[in-house]
Every structure is written in C-alpha cells, then in structure tokens.
C-alpha cells in the first residue's frame, strides 16, 4: 500500500502538506493508495470500468470538503429552504458559490494559490468539484466510468503542469483554518 500512497503523494505534488494536513488522516491517505492500486489493476487487465477508483478518490475529497468547507459555511438550502446534502455536487453547484465564496472570504479560509501560469481561486476550485461530482454520480448510480471519463477525472482531481492545480491538491494547498497552518 505504501508504494501506491507514495505515487499519489508525488502525483499531487504538495510536498509535506500530504502528511501535515491534519484533515488528511492516515486512513484517507490509505484510501488514496487503494484507489491507485485498483486503477493500476484495472489498467493491467485492460478492463474498461473505473467506477471503483473513482469512488475511492472522490470519497476522500468529499470527506475533506465536509471537514473543511462545510464546517466553515452557513447551511446551504434549496429554493424551498430545505437543507442540501454536504456533497461535492452541493459545494460545486453554481447557485451555492456566492454563499460559499462569502463564507470563505469572511473567515479567510481560502488563500488563492498561484501556479506558474494558473491561479486557483475558490470559484475555480468549486468548478472543479462540480465537474468531478458529475463523474462521481455516474460511478455511484450507474456503476460505470469509462476510460475517457476517468482520464478527465484524473485531470480534474490531480491537475497537471499543463492545466494547473486539481481539486485535491488545490484544497490541500489553499485551505486555511485555525490550527491547520
């Protein structure tokens, strides 16, 4: 498992933040390693359904979002005033962004990060989670994610030197809260 977790750490390119970020527990790091292991096994047997690693990776992101963003924002509701679930889709949905951006700015919880060519604002990060939530929902409800959709998830989740930060490394680097450094 350590080999796969190390791969994830290197792919995220967040340095010591991978171990130091208090919300990213050993159990969650192990889950990321399991996601990479399953991904590698699917590739090795030339299977075409990546729902398993999709759910493992997005489950980690969703748990971190619950412990960070949702702990520091007002309850989100639909147009009828009903509470919304604390999911990636809710945090990424365009109708919720103004409330979330206001909460992040008021609490100084999000520090936009600058890459070589790309800045990751909270709004841009929320857009990544919105797009990831569509793939995650397909994995959960249809039990299938195609190779192409999984490549898209990889880009959105891990980012790259070409596209900039992904949702997970963006959260690990930009999140600021008392006690999290």
**Per-residue pLDDT tens listing for the chain (181 residues):** 999 999 999 999 888 999 999 999 999 999 999 999 999 999 999 999 999 999 999 999 999 999 999 999 999 999 999 999 999 999 999 999 999 999 999 999 999 887 666 678 999 999 999 999 999 999 999 999 999 999 999 999 999 877 789 999 999 999 987 655 4
Confidence (pLDDT) at 99:
95
Confidence (pLDDT) at 119:
77
Confidence (pLDDT) at 181:
47
Spell out the SS3 assignment of the chain.
Answer: CHHHHHHHHHHHCCCCHHHHCCCCCHHHHHHHHHHHHHHHHHHHCCCCCCHHHHHHHHHHHHHHHHHCCHHHCCCCECCCCCECCCCHHHHHCHHHHHHHHHHHHHHCCECCEECCCCEECHHHHHHHHHHHHHHHHHHHHHCCCCHHHHHHHHHHHHEECCCEECHHHHHHHHECCCCCC
Give how far Cα 83 sits from Cα of 75, 131, 157, 168, 174, Å: 7, 22, 27, 25, 27
Confidence (pLDDT) at 163:
77
Q: Phi and psi (nearest 5°) for 61?
A: -60, -45
Confidence (pLDDT) at 169:
93
Q: What CA–CA distance (Å, rounded) separates 48 from 60?
A: 22
Question: What is the reported pTM?
Answer: 0.94
């Amino acid at each position: 498992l350590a080999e796969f977790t190390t791969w994830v750490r290197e792919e995220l390119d967040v340095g010591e933040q991978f171990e130091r970020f208090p919300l990213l527990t050993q159990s969650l790091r192990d889950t990321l390693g399991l996601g990479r292991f399953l991904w590698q096994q699917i590739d090795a047997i030339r299977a075409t359904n990546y729902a398993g690693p999709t759910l493992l990776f997005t489950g980690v992101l969703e748990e971190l979002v619950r412990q960070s963003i949702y702990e520091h924002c007002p309850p989100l509701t639909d147009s009828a005033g009903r509470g919304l679930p604390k999911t990636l889709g809710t945090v990424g949905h365009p109708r919720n962004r103004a409330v979330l951006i206001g909460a992040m700015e008021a609490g100084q919880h999000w520090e936009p990060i600058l890459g070589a060519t790309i800045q990751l604002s909270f709004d841009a990060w929320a857009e990544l989670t919105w797009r990831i939530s569509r793939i995650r929902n397909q994995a959960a409800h249809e039990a299938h994610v195609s190779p192409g959709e999984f490549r898209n998830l990889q880009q959105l989740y891990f980012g790259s030197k070409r596209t900039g930060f992904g949702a997970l490394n963006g959260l690990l680097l930009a999140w600021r809260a008392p006690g999290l450094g």
